[in-house]
Amino acid sequence: MFIYITILSLCIIGCVLDILNLKVRNFFFYFNLCVLFFVSVFRYNIGVDYATYEQSFKDALHLFDTNIEYFTEYNVVNIEYGYLIFESFVKIFTEQFEIFIVIYNIALFSFFTLAIVKNPYKNIQLFLLLCFVYPLYIIEAHRQAMAIAIFMYNIKNILEKRLFLYLFFVFLGFLFHKISLITLPFYFIINYVRINKNLLFFLLVITFLVSFFDVIGSLIQYANDSLNYLEAVRRVNHYYFVKNEPSLSNLPISAYLQRMLLFLIVVIFFAKTKEEYNYLVISYILLFLVFSNVGVLAGRVSGLFLISYLYYFSNLFFNLKSNVYRIVILIFIVLWGSAIFIKDINTIHPEFGTYNYIPYKTILEK
């Protein structure tokens, strides 16, 4: 637990340095970034999927030994091709899973870093990355983490209206996690659809109705009846109807309150931030609510848009002229983010009853 509290404290200090606009803030950002990187790469058996990924790497063939059958017939757990290719490429140089983790995280953190450094208030962005993405994705579901990192980097292609590059990185993200496909239409939505406050509230009401009447459940059931031969459809159907019982009560009331509070912040400061970042946050909220009948799907589908927090709050702090507003919002995100981070690292495995992230163990304890 000590290591997690330490990195949380360091990132909070970084947030304060950003607000105070001290020169040391840039050094502190890169220092904290390195700390997060090393905590991720030196972990051992941390996270539910660690053993699964370790076995997957052990079973991986060298890249030059692969063939079509390896990616299709022998891919029994249906891992995305991009991840399999990455494994096989690294297997050329090493058989050690620990080294694979280092190389994978170099790629992962490179995408995050390239996206973050282009925006102001880098320490605040890093704090939000720690609280909302680090445990559940970077440490745990690192295939989806790569998709999140690629999407975050890809936002610049939306802003600069580079459609070809945007589509290329959507495809690259898809190679690591299929959920990346949901980002495909957002280039057109963000660049060509104008949204005002009235439309925001209308969309929120529609989303609640869709969730309340479980429209998504009906669509999934129809897709499963018609397209059952597709593994992705069967998997979604399994999550929705077999593994869980669809119900709005599957998520705690606090999960809904968090999103509603975030929605109000967007509405209140609607004119203070870039439209594109408002759209990203609203997309996250609406996707979460649409799939909220099943908590697992709500998190998986909306998870890519968690990076909207980083862009939105960075831009909000940059545009706010009042130091009082800045301090109030900083206190809010520090308390909110810290609560989420502490909750996540105390997650207990539903089957084995053990903690997923604590105690922290290093590869030296293997």
Identify the domain containing residue 309 by its residue range: 194-319
What's the average model confidence in pLDDT over 43-49? 85
Domain contains 178: no
**Residues 211, 128 share a domain:** no
Mark whether 251 and 337 lie in a shared domain.
no
Once rounded to an integer, what is the mean pLDDT over residues 92-107? Answer: 93
Q: What percent of the chain has pLDDT over 90?
A: 44
Token digits of residue 82 = 């991009």
- The answer to whether residues 292 and 222 belong to one domain is yes
73 and 14, same domain (yes or no): yes
> Hey, what are 102's tokens?
């280092």
130 and 44 housed in the same domain: yes
| Co-location of 333 and 315 in the same domain | no
User: Do residues 277 and 341 share a domain?
Assistant: no
Q: Is the dihedral of CA 361, 29, 144, 62 positive or negative?
A: negative
The amino acid at residue 17 is: L
Exposure of 41 by Cβ count < 10 A (0-12 exposed, 13-18 middle, 19+ buried)?
buried
Whether the pLDDT of residue 278 is over 70: the answer is: yes
Query: 97 with 205, same domain?
Result: no
| Domain match, 346 and 277 both | no
Within a domain: 94? yes
Residue 359: inside a domain, yes or no?
yes
- DSSP secondary structure letter of residue 251: S
User: Taking 90 as the threshold, does the pLDDT of residue 152 lie above it?
Assistant: yes
Q: 101 and 23 in one domain?
A: yes
Dihedral sign for Cα atoms in the order 308, 311, 315, 316: positive
Q: How many Å separate Cα 206 from the centre of its chain? A: 25
Domain count, the chain: 2
Same domain, 224 and 333: no
272 lies in the same domain as 199: yes
pLDDT at 225 over 80: no
Q: What are the beta bridge partners of residue 85?
A: none
pLDDT above 70 coverage of the chain, percent: 87
- Residue in this structure with the two tokens 């589908």, named with its chain if needed: 301
Q: Is 354 left (phi over 0), alpha (psi -120 to 50) or beta?
A: beta
Asked if residue 353 is part of any domain, the answer here is yes
7/42 Cα distance (integer angstroms):
14
Give residue-wise pLDDT tens across range 72-82.
666 646 788 88
For residue 176, being part of any structural domain is answered with: no
**Mean pLDDT of all residues in 127-140:** 93
The last residue of a domain, from among 319, 341, 358: 319
Q: 159 lies in a domain?
A: no
